[in-house]
A and B are shown apart, each in its own frame.
Chain A
Amino acid sequence: MGIAENILVIDDEIQIRRLLKITLENSGYKVFEAADAKSGLPEVANCRPSLILLDLGLPDEDGISLLKKVREFSETPVIILSVRNSENAIIEALDSGADDYITKPFNSGELLARIRTSLRHSQPEQRNPVYKNGNITVDFSTREVKKKNQIIKLTATEFSILSLFVRNEGKVLTYNYFLKEIWGRQYSDETQYLRVFVAALRKKLEDNPSRPKIFITESGVGYRMISVE
């Protein structure tokens, strides 16, 4: 891995910060801490973290507005820490540039997995023209999709959605993000198009379309493509 990557934790709860510090340092990251937005923002510039863990409920400022400020000068991946029942805030954070989210209380394993995914996406990737996930193969040079070595025919839109999933493997994607990327800004309220196409994609590519394992639903937020190796 070489040099340890810096992770900045912005959370007002000392207990959570301590827990994260121990867990992350044990996993080989270097951890910086900030207890509020006021001290957090300069830290982003000072310690040049590779990733930021941001709590939405900060005492002095709304987490989302801090996120927007960060996004003005930095592309550092941000994972949101939130409590349940705040889907709208999560969606807003994701649409404002956060990369992922995790709800408290969380499993350490899950958190570490999310961190790895986000870090991977932040690196300039060498795009492999052939993508593999389970029994699915996507060849971007020929636009050919195979499942168990059988060619699967996808429509143009289905293929665009699939590519979007592949490009963001492991990351949560909001409905808005899909609509804007695939159909353009003016369709941002027509989520039913998206549902129809995702259902079609599952039907063609999932082993059991009613229990999807690859294209999974993030309740109330969006979709996430999981690597099933």
Chain B
Amino acid sequence: MEEQSRLNPDELLARIKLNEQKEKKGKLKIYIGMCAGVGKTFSMLQDASKAGGRGTDVLIGYVETHGRAETEFLLFHLPQLPRKKIEYKGFVLEEMDIDTILDKRPKLVVVDELAHTNAPGSRHNKRYLDVIELIENGIDVLTAVNVQHIESLADTVSKITGVIISETVPDSILDAADEIELIDISPDELIQRLNDGKVYTADKTKNAVDNFFRKGNLSALREMALRLAADRVDKQVRYYMQENRIPGPWKSTQRILIGIGPSPNSADLVRWARRIAYTMEASWIAVNVETSHPLDEKQKKLLNKNLELAKELGAEVITTSDTDIVKGIIRVAKNENATHIVIGKSQNKGFFPRLFQKDIVDRILTESGQIDVYVVSGDNYENKTGKIFAFPKLQSGFYKYLSSSLIVIFVAAICYPFSDTLGYQTVALILLFVVSMLPLIFGPGPVLLSAILSPVLWNYFFVPPKFTLFISRTEDILMFIMFLIIATVTGILTTKIRQREKSVLLREERAVALYNLADDLSKSKDLDEVIGQSVKNLNKVFNSEVIFLLLDSKTKKLVFTNPEMSSISEKEFSVAQWVFTNRKKAGHYTESLPFAEFIYYPLLGPRDIYGVVGIKMEDDILYREKETLIDNFIKQSGAAVEREILNKTANKALLLEESEKLYKTLFDSISHELKIPIAAIMGASSYLLQSDSEINETQKQLLNEVHTATIRLNRLVENLLDMARLESGMLVPNIKECDINDLFSVVLDYFEKEKSSHDISVEVQEYFPFINIDFTLIETALKNLIHNALRYAVPNPKISIQAFFDDKNIYITISDNGKGIPEEHLEHIFDKFYRVDNKISGGTGLGLSIAKGIIEIHKGTISASNKVSGGLKFNIKLQRM
């Protein structure tokens, strides 16, 4: 029992991913009502006020009060965002200002009228897309919608109420919502509210009650709203049971398949399928079967619209090609393991009576085997063409008709003088041959004309009695009929074969295009070449302008990679930027930022986003097939770009690692070699100096010189090594928390041990915080600065160290009582080997630049200034963190 209710790892992973995604996103709450006036806006604002009262940062993005007093009262207390004014054809339209909301980043935004269509020129053409962008940016949204605006219910509502619904939101937004609240009142109450003038003003009310707000309508709408909410609750319960492993009624994986064609009724079918898919918890596939039959512009648009709708409603869209619709549908159904097929009941009003073909529905029923078939009324498959002998469209130009007829007439004329020798039966065969050859040159119309014309010509000019259409012999009549049939059939069949050839050719072209791209990309050796090849292929295949914008890893900005196209307008660039941030395509042909000239695709690899590709084409509409092909192109380019970028990073890392290793080995061995002799000298001289060995005073003085020189040499070597480490860029500070008093006492102990005559005072602000630094590096920096001060502040050096702090930084100053240095030298004293006064010996000219380098790798700053009272002062600033 336990086993069955447990999720498999993949499902679990998907669920975790979903939860993670949800956590980053803002929360979406949708208030649903059966129609206007039920109090959605009111409830929404009530909730917003409550949240505001608890201290949540609430903002009213867009609310329409329709002059309702209670609502206006609530709105009064909440911060409202000024609306954005957009001018369109002389009108000023007011829209929600999404950019300001994203800038302000409130916790919660109220956005009324989810189904609203934005004014042209807005970022998205639908408001629900604005809402999606808000939640994806981590902002919680409260929004409201009426049940009639839900895509899958819109047509049912239209049928019930007779009102055409033009503004809809896809059902998927309901799935994206974290919470749905149904605002329900009884129809009687609503009508009462209407009559009380609480919904519309009096003059509007009468009209509204008569037309839309009839009790029957309202009851139906209410039922729909309740059912929608109930479905959702049901789904949540099941989800909960699954998540918490409560064994319950379990459904096997269901898959619904629907066939979509260029028919206006397909849209209804799509909505219907979405509803059952939702209730059955099934995934669903929309299949379009391309046959050899060519579609006209209108049909193409319609098909595109239907496929878009299916996609919007959550279907997986598959386009396949087959000679026969039924075969295509059944093949896909079996490949995709569909459990149900949904088809429309066809009302065959065909040109020809159904002589040769069985009804599509019948054929699907018989050929579907194990798969359940739903037949839904309303769809008309006639337009989809599935008939074997469907009449091809006659759409060629007049000249083609004329020339095809002339060819037949010409051949007939040549044959005429020989008709007696050849016999008129032979002439029939010759003409038949010509007709069967015509499809190689002409479209279906001219071929059909010739197919009819040739037997008539033959009859008139060759069959006795000549120059009449009358045929005397029975076998000639038979022959004439046969000729007519064969010519027509041959003509049509050959045409069909050619069309299929064309469509096969088209598919092959696409496949070849993709193959070429893949080939070019795989041969590319570096990033530039990958982009070059991508641009070349996109240019060639889509006859388009292409721009590639790649993310610069240093500046984190999008930069052009093909220089000849480096000037797009700022507006276009902002669209590209939007695409990059949101990782969604946008621009021309899309619903987001459609005013752009280009369509922009995010350049995504399997791991990350790397840039944006913009494409500008001549086409008015981007058809699905082309869109899919472009999608594939961009995907391949994205993968190749990622491959190159990852390669580059990997190579760089490897190189760096190798050079670091080499550097470390070299550095260690040099520092070893330099220090060993120093250690030997120092060890020996210090031993001789402190032991009671028998040496005279002169020897002792000389030894002292040796010892001092060794200390100096050692400091020089250490300075050189420090400088080398700093300059290599491979010095990573070992940051640890430490007490500044410890730091100073270590430094002071060192100078005490050096026994140089000096006076160093330290002053540390009380309650000094612990600081995060590399102790030994900062120690070196301070020692260098103090050494420098000691050298210049002769004869009686007095050095003062002060440390203080504020919220962000700590400050250390080191000042001496010397003469200071001329102003013109100040900015150079941190330069390497820079000496202010060559007369003062003992320095390497490296100490200060090492100190500066050390402070800088701590992300701090150091400067020097002359004190008014004389003497030089170093100012160090380090971040507290």
Chain A interface residues toward B at CB < 8 A: 13, 15-16, 19-20, 22-23, 26, 57, 83-85, 87-88, 104-109, 111, 191-192, 195, 199, 209-212, 216-217, 219-220
Contact = CB atoms under 8 A, between A and B. Distances in A.
A83 B717 CA distance: 12
A108 B687 contact: yes
A108 B779 contact: no
B778 to A, nearest CB: 10
B516 interface: no
A109 B691 CA distance: 8
B808 interface: no
Nearest to A210: B741
A19 B680 contact: yes
Interface string B736-775: 1111011111101100000000000010100000100011
30 contacts: A15-B680, A16-B680, A19-B679, A84-B776, A85-B776, A104-B676, A104-B679, A105-B678, A105-B681, A105-B710, A106-B682, A107-B682, A107-B686, A108-B683, A108-B687, A108-B691, A109-B690, A111-B683, A191-B736, A195-B742, A199-B739, A210-B762, A211-B745, A211-B748, A212-B745, A216-B749, A217-B743, A217-B746, A219-B746, A220-B736
A23 B682 CA distance: 12
B734 interface: yes
Contacts of A219: 746, 775-776, 779
Interface centre among B710, B714, B745, B748 (most CB of A within 10 A): B745
Given A19-B684, A195-B770, A219-B776, A106 B739 contact: no
Given A216-B745, A217-B745, A105 B770 contact: no
B677 interface: yes
Interface in B711-750: 714, 718, 725, 734, 736-739, 741-746, 748-749
Given A105-B714, A217-B742, A191 B671 contact: no
A85 B854 CA distance: 14
A210 B684 contact: no
Given A191-B737, A192-B770, A210 B744 contact: yes
A219 B687 CA distance: 25
A18 to B, nearest CB: 8
B234 interface: no
A155 B325 CA distance: 90
Contact of B682 (A13, A57, A105, A211): A105
Nearest to B680: A15
Contacts of A23: 683, 687
Contacts, number: 98
**4 closest cross-chain pairs (CB), A and B:** A108-B687, A105-B679, A217-B742, A105-B682
Contacts of B737: 191-192, 195
Nearest to A87: B776
A212 B691 CA distance: 28
A83 B669 CA distance: 12
B672 interface: yes
A192 B771 CA distance: 10
B94 interface: no
Interface of B: 668, 671-672, 675-684, 686-687, 690-691, 710, 714, 718, 725, 734, 736-739, 741-746, 748-749, 762, 764, 770, 774-776, 779
Contacts of A220: 734, 736, 774-776, 779
A210 B768 CA distance: 12
Contacts of B764: 210
Contacts of B668: 57
A108 B762 contact: no
A109 B770 CA distance: 34
Contacts of B746: 216-217, 219
A16 B676 contact: yes
B687 A105 contact: no
Contacts of B749: 216
Nearest to B752: A211
B680 A195 contact: no
B152 to A, nearest CB: 57
Contacts of A88: 734
A106 B681 CA distance: 10
A102 B483 CA distance: 114
B745 A210 contact: yes
Nearest to B673: A13
Given A57-B672, A195-B737, A219-B776, A15 B770 contact: no
Given A108-B683, A210-B744, A219-B776, A83 B672 contact: yes
Contacts of B718: 84
Nearest to B747: A219
Contacts of B681: 105
B776 A105 contact: no
B393 to A, nearest CB: 80
A214 to B, nearest CB: 12
Contacts of B671: 83
B391 to A, nearest CB: 84
B675 A105 contact: yes
B599 to A, nearest CB: 53
A107 B707 CA distance: 10
Contacts of A217: 739, 742-743, 745-746
B674 to A, nearest CB: 10
A212 B744 CA distance: 10
Given A26-B691, A104-B675, A195-B738, 20 more contacts: A15-B676, A16-B676, A19-B684, A20-B683, A57-B672, A84-B718, A87-B734, A87-B775, A107-B686, A108-B683, A108-B684, A108-B690, A199-B739, A209-B741, A211-B762, A216-B749, A219-B746, A219-B776, A220-B734, A220-B774
Contact of B677 (A15, A57, A195, A209): A15
Nearest to B744: A210
Nearest to B721: A85
Contact of A109 (B676, B686, B725, B741): B686
Contacts of B676: 13, 15-16, 104
B683 A106 contact: yes
Nearest to B681: A105
A212 B681 CA distance: 31
Contact of B741 (A57, A85, A199): A199
Nearest to A108: B687
Interface centre among B679, B725, B749 (most CB of A within 10 A): B679
Contacts of B779: 219-220
A217 B749 CA distance: 10
Contacts of B710: 105
